[in-house]
Structure 1
Amino acid sequence: MLRHFTAQEVEAGLDYPSLIDALDAAFRRAGEPMPVRQTYDVGTADTPGHLLTMPAWDRGATLGVKLVSVFPRNAERGLGAVSSLYVLLDGRTGQPTALVDGEALTNRRTAAASALASRYLSRPASRTLLVVGTGHVAHYLPEAHRAVRPIEKVLVWGRSAERAAALAGRLREQGFAAAPVADLPAALAEADIVSCATTAQAPLVHGRDLRDGTHLDLVGAFTPRMRECDDAAVLRARVFVDTRAGALAEAGDLLQPIAAGVWSADRVCGDLHDLAAGTCGGRRTDDEITLFKSVGTALEDLTAAALLAGAGDPGARRRDDAAPLIRIATAG
């Protein structure tokens, strides 16, 4: 039977501890490479538009694809520019089994992937989180990070003081000691973990402002022209990524210092597969700076959708067994 999961059902059905553990198991396992994200121009001269597809599969178990449309002029119609839907299918028959709200799924799995990286890279006693940005993903990050670290205090910085205050208020309702901040360098000096979720075209976080021991989580910038931190931050940090293929194709935070000749791709210490499988070490000392750059992967979508659809099913496989056996498809 085909099931439809609304945004509210995604929120209720994917608790962070379970999702983070499922992602950990999925990244730990190795498998065949998946195709990278495909983008198609589907617009007209008057209405530009793009269709993006992100497929992934676990042979004999499950497969799925996220469909994303980007129509920049939708604001003129009172609609959002980005819409998405996830289609989950049975890996044995190819029959559709679930339709999942794509935005909710993406937001939740993105935050969970950041928390998974934090499990390996942030200091275990991290209690203060700085969120840079006030968009959709920013709302999810504190709760996800709290699933792996004893986060008590959340500082919120945004270009709009009003939106930063609103997000801080919402986080207080979730039990955080949250407050908006206007002085970003001062907040950076206080934070144990810095999580950025913006569409910045120029650096917001500067390496000179990071204190020793900080974990820097870069979620937002997802094209070569975008970046959230400067070269100095990259140079000061041990750098990890969600996937090498995705990050080294799309992450401006890394591609721009590479182009400038001040950093090189071989300085990536590892990806989420390496961390989960134990083939590379995570944080080594309390005073080193770590940096995690994500651009998204279809593995995360498939893992989250399969976990969601299997929730409450007595015949569903155990969490570790349910993790898709796939290598990685780049996706946003």
Structure 2
Amino acid sequence: MLSLPSGTLDAAATAARLPWRALANEIAALLQDRTVSVPARSVLRMAEGASLFVMPAADGQMAMTKLITLTPANAGTGRPSIQGDVVVFDVATGERQVMLDGPTVTARRTAAVSLLAAQRLAPRTDGPLLVVGAGVQGVAHAQAFIEGLGVQEVWIASRSAASAETLARQVRALGATARVVADADAALPHCPLVATCTPAQQVVLSAVPRLDAFIAAVGAYRPDQAELSADVCKFFARQGHIVVDTEDAAHEAGDLLQAGLDVAALPTLRDVVGGTVAAPRGPVLFKGCGWAGWDLAAARLALRSENPHSQPMPVRP
């Protein structure tokens, strides 16, 4: 087995430096940091539906780039669909500080963003939680909501019965109860918390959710993808509230764009954290598309997490 280069953290070591609540707090702090710079991510389409993502970001002290591949054809082969690294540099010296496991950062920062949104926006945070999709993101969201919100019951819907049962065992190992269900729509009346974490190749939720529902939809990140039906999206626009992760959702949030909604006019998570959006009443849809700023927040926390008393980076004017 090859040893990792000095300063390189494997998946387990990367995860250990990114505890859920601390990561959600770091993401909130980053959203108020005026020194943060995040250019548009670069996506290179490759053969067989694969993609290469280059996602840089920086603040006043560090710069990082996430370089990962997404290979859908790896599904079922034993090879991960997402592979790559997050390389972190010191701004003042240009020296590399650490290299983190890219898939682990991606999984944990995505679920931590959903956790932060649920902490600030969910009408109810006690669950049960319905997780649609039992892959890497399904696992991460179950962990984040159990450990970050104290959810005690998780319902799981997945096209793969084996993956659903595996996730159910992981949920039980965390001290929560788990139930595998065949129909995600039929589970909606029972679950005020929902996370859709699928490859977004087809709509997975088309039924009307509860009036106290919070849905974090994170699978679709391109305009041609959708996990939620147009009717579900329009329900939230009409009866509740929709919040997107960043302004980039205006050209990435396929669920909302295909429903004909004005995504550019929707509030962002930055607005929520900054207090410019009042606490919503009624059901809430949080649409996440991904942003290199979330990876930067993970890098900031990872470099400080050896200190058990560390706090989020201070907000800089």
Question: Is this a same-fold pair by TM over 0.5?
Answer: yes
Which residue is 1:250 aligned to? 252
SS in 2 for 1:320: coil
**Matched residue of 1:28: which SS?**
coil
Judged with a 3 Å threshold, the aligned counterparts in structure 2 of structure 1 residues 48 and 54 are, in CA distance, closer, same or farther, namely: same
The 1-side partners of 2:69 and 2:136 are apart by: 17
Displacement of 1:197 = 0.1
User: Is the Cα–Cα contact under 8 Å of residues 231 and 259 in structure 2 kept in the other structure?
Assistant: no
1:308 aligned partner: 302
Please state how far the C-alpha of 1:161 moved relative to its aligned partner: 2.3
What letter matches 2:199 in structure 1?
T
2:227 pairs with 1:228 = yes
Change in Cα spacing, 1:150 to 1:255, as seen in structure 2 (3 Å) is same
Letter in 2 for 1:254: L
Residue 5 of structure 2 corresponds to residue 12 of structure 1:
no
Does the C-alpha gap of structure 1 residues 253 and 94 become closer, same or farther in structure 2, counting only changes over 3 Å?
same
Aligned match of 1:129: 129
Following superposition of structure 1 onto structure 2, how do residues 1-332 of structure 1 map, counting pairs within 5 Å? 3-31=7-35, 33-40=37-44, 50-59=51-60, 61-71=61-71, 79-206=79-206, 208-237=207-236, 238-245=241-248, 247-258=249-260, 263-268=261-266, 270-284=267-281, 288-312=282-306, 318-321=311-314
Which segments of 5 or more consecutive residues in structure 1 lack a partner in the other structure?
327-332
Alpha-carbon offset, residue 222 of structure 1: 1.6
Write the letter of the residue equivalent to 2:53.
Answer: L
Tell me the amino acid that sits aligned with residue 112 of structure 1. Answer: A
Size of the aligned set, in residue pairs, is 309
Contact 1:236/1:289, CA 8 A, preserved across alignment: no
Aligned partners of 1:157, 1:76: CA distance in 2, in Å?
18
Q: 1:74 to 1:121 in 2, by over 3 A?
A: closer
Distance 1:75 1:108, change over 3 A: closer
Distance 1:50 1:182, change over 3 A: closer
TM-score by length of 1: 0.85
Cα drift, residue 76 of structure 1: 11
Opposite residue 7 of structure 1, the aligned amino acid is: A
Contact 1:13 1:311 in 2 (8 A): yes
Cα offset for 1:148?
4.2
How does the TM-score come out when normalised to structure 2? Answer: 0.89
Quote the Cα distance in structure 2 between the aligned partners of 1:159 and 1:7. Answer: 26
Amino acid at match of 1:320: M
Q: Secondary structure at the match of 1:52?
A: strand
Query: 2: distance between equivalents of 1:91 and 1:22?
Result: 19
Q: For residues 114-167 of structure 1, what are the alpha-carbon distances to aligned partners after superposition, in whole Å with 9 as ceiling and x for unaligned?
A: 000001111245321000001111001122123443311100011122321221
- Would the aligned equivalents of 2:37 and 2:58 in 1 still touch at CA under 8 Å? no
2:244 maps to amino acid:
V
Post-superposition CA distance 1:230-258 (Å, at most 9, x none): 1221122111011022x122121011112
- Contact 1:68–1:83 under 8 Å retained in 2: yes
Amino acid at match of 1:289: P
Q: CA deviation at 1:214?
A: 0.4
Amino acid at match of 1:194: V
CA distance in 1, matches of 2:89, 2:254: 34
Q: Which has the higher contact order (CA 8 A, sep 6+)?
A: 1
Q: Relative to 1, partners in 2 of residues 1:109 and 1:76: Cα closer, same or farther, differing over 3 Å? A: closer
When residues 76 and 17 of structure 1 are mapped into structure 2, their CA distance, relative to the original with a 3 A threshold, is closer
Question: 1:33, CA displacement in angstroms?
Answer: 4.8
RMSD (CA atoms): 2.6
Please state whether the residue corresponding to 1:10 is helix, strand or coil.
helix
Residues 99, 28 of structure 1: alpha-carbon distance in 2 compared, 3 angstrom cutoff = same
